[in-house]
Amino acid sequence: MADLGIEFAGLNCMSPFILASAPPTATGEMIQRAFEAGWSGAVTKTIALEPAIDARPRLARLAMANRTIGLENIELISQRNLDTWVKDIEEIKRQYPDHVLFASLMAAVAMEEWHSLIKQVEEAGVDGLELNFGCPHGMPEKGMGSVQGQDPTIAGDITRWAKEIATVPVMVKLTPNVTDIVQIGEACEEAGADAISAINTVSALIGIDLDRLEPLPSVGGISALGGYSGPGVKPIGLRCVAQLAKGTDLPLSGIGGIARWQDAAEYILVGASTVQVCTAVMLQGYGIVEKMKKGLSAYMDEKGFQSVGEMRGEVLPKITSHEELDFAHKVVAAIDEALCSRCGLCHTACMDGGWQAIEMESREVYPRVVIERCDGCSLCTLVCPVEGCITMVPLQTRQHS
């Protein structure tokens, strides 16, 4: 059996699966239930010197065929005060000493505030700190959150202040709402950060209620830009983690759209040591972790990976700049008539969005690829509803078949 255990920033995690700082970690009782369900670690909902006051409602969704594919939230940091969190942390570590607990922290650009927070949560027994440089809404207006993570000087200064007093690992949580996330990561690394987590939510406006003419989520008829999470942000998260893996030497905790073991595997393959989950838990509950652990373990066995550490970053060398791609590599579409349903989607897509390389006179005949026209874009494989019906094959193979 593959070993799911991983060392992360000097901490021993029983598996790479950690709960992200979010509604599923809003109280100590919730975190304890999550640990009982099988999560190896958790990051508390973000703690500040003063609790937040939230709007209601504060969630809206993006859906396709009534399936939620993303959430936008305008939720702020924890509504609970610091003293309550100190008691919760003490109880969590008393009951689950072998599980990893990070305290997510947020403060103004003021050294004394960060030092005060760090001292109190450390005395309560946390294993690590996560500096929240990522929240894209509400808190930036107060000089906190992503406004700090968008400035390498500020992010570096706060990291340095934390390292001056911290006796446990310091992880920085970065925002994707920047031009160059590596620049921020490098500043934090230079300031002494022990790890990076990425990404926080993507700044978004999820939609408009066309009947009521109101932005969503509607708070008495008005709204604000919020943070987008869920499967739709996974490509952004993967990109950021891959860039940070190439641009820094720090251990990484991948966040963004992780709902299945396959998602976790992708993050690990591009450089993450651990993964953090939020939206999938909000929609499906803590129990998803066991299926994720079993799936990842089985995949690692299948591929011959003995440990998460051995698997980490395996795909990273294959991610290169566009100019370094092999432009001599030629492929064309091939349609398997035994599988084809003659739906015509490939023909329409190729005619109106491709290279007019698929001919189809009627639904009574099978579509035919005109090799001389096919440019190998692969659009037809993406619209085909039958798995394996259309494949991209080397041009030489297709010419000789």
| Torsion angle defined by CA atoms of residues 267, 273, 274 and 280, in that order, rounded to the nearest 10 degrees | 10
Closest CA to 32 of 77, 105, 120, 91: 91
Q: Which long-range contacts (CB under 8 A, 24 or more apart) does 217-224 make?
A: 217/57, 217/58, 217/59, 217/60, 217/72, 217/74, 218/57, 219/55, 219/56, 219/57, 219/58, 219/74, 223/74, 224/74, 224/137, 224/138
pLDDT in tens, 388-397: 999 999 998 6
Whole-model pTM? 0.97
What per-residue confidence (pLDDT) applies to 399?
63
What per-residue confidence (pLDDT) applies to 1?
80
pLDDT in tens, 145-195: 999 999 999 999 999 999 999 999 999 999 999 999 999 999 999 999 999
Other Cβ atoms less than 10 A from the Cβ of 348: the count is 16
Average pLDDT over residues 60-87: 96
Tokens of 285: 């509950």
At residue 401, does pLDDT exceed 70? no
At residue 398, does pLDDT exceed 70? no
Q: How far apart are CA 381 and CA 57, in angstroms?
A: 41
- Cβ(149)–Cβ(175) below 8 Å: yes
Tokens of 345: 């989607």
Helix, strand, coil content of the chain in percent (nearest 5): 35, 20, 40
Within 8 A by CB and 6+ apart from 139, the residues are 76, 77, 106, 145, 146, 147
pLDDT in tens, 109-124: 999 999 999 999 999 9
Instruction: Kindly tell me the sign of the dihedral angle through the C-alpha atoms of 27, 32, 272, 169.
Output: positive
Q: What percent of the chain has pLDDT over 70?
A: 99
**Cis peptide bond N-terminal to 89, omega within 30:** no
What per-residue confidence (pLDDT) applies to 130?
99
| Torsion angle defined by CA atoms of residues 304, 309, 313 and 317, in that order, rounded to the nearest 10 degrees | -70
Name the CATH superfamily for 6-318: Aldolase class I (3.20.20.70)
Q: How far apart are CA 59 and CA 226, in angstroms?
A: 9
> Which H/E stretch holds residue 90?
helix 82-95
User: Any idea how long the chain is?
Assistant: 401
At residue 33, does pLDDT exceed 80? yes
Mean per-residue pLDDT of the chain: 97
Other Cβ atoms less than 10 A from the Cβ of 183: the count is 12
* Radius of gyration over every alpha carbon of the chain, rounded to an integer in angstroms: 24
Average pLDDT over residues 223-227: 98
Tokens of 223: 């709204």
What CATH number matches the domain at 326-399, 3.30.70.20, 2.60.120.260, 3.40.630.30, 3.40.50.460?
3.30.70.20
Q: What amino acid positions are annotated as catalytic residues? A: 135
pLDDT in tens, 227-257: 999 999 999 999 999 999 999 999 999 999 9
Domain ranges of the chain: 6-318, 326-399
HSE-up (13 A, CA, CB side) for residue 269: 14
3-state DSSP assignment of residue 353: helix
The alpha carbon of 156 is separated from its chain's Cα centroid by a whole number of angstroms, namely 23
Q: How far apart are CA 225 and CA 396, in angstroms?
A: 51
Burial letters 52-91, b for 16+ CB under 10 A, else e: beeeeebbbbbeeeeeeebbbbbbbbbebebeebbebbeb
- Cβ(243)–Cβ(196) below 8 Å: no
Whether 326-399 and 6-318 are alike in CATH topology: the answer is no
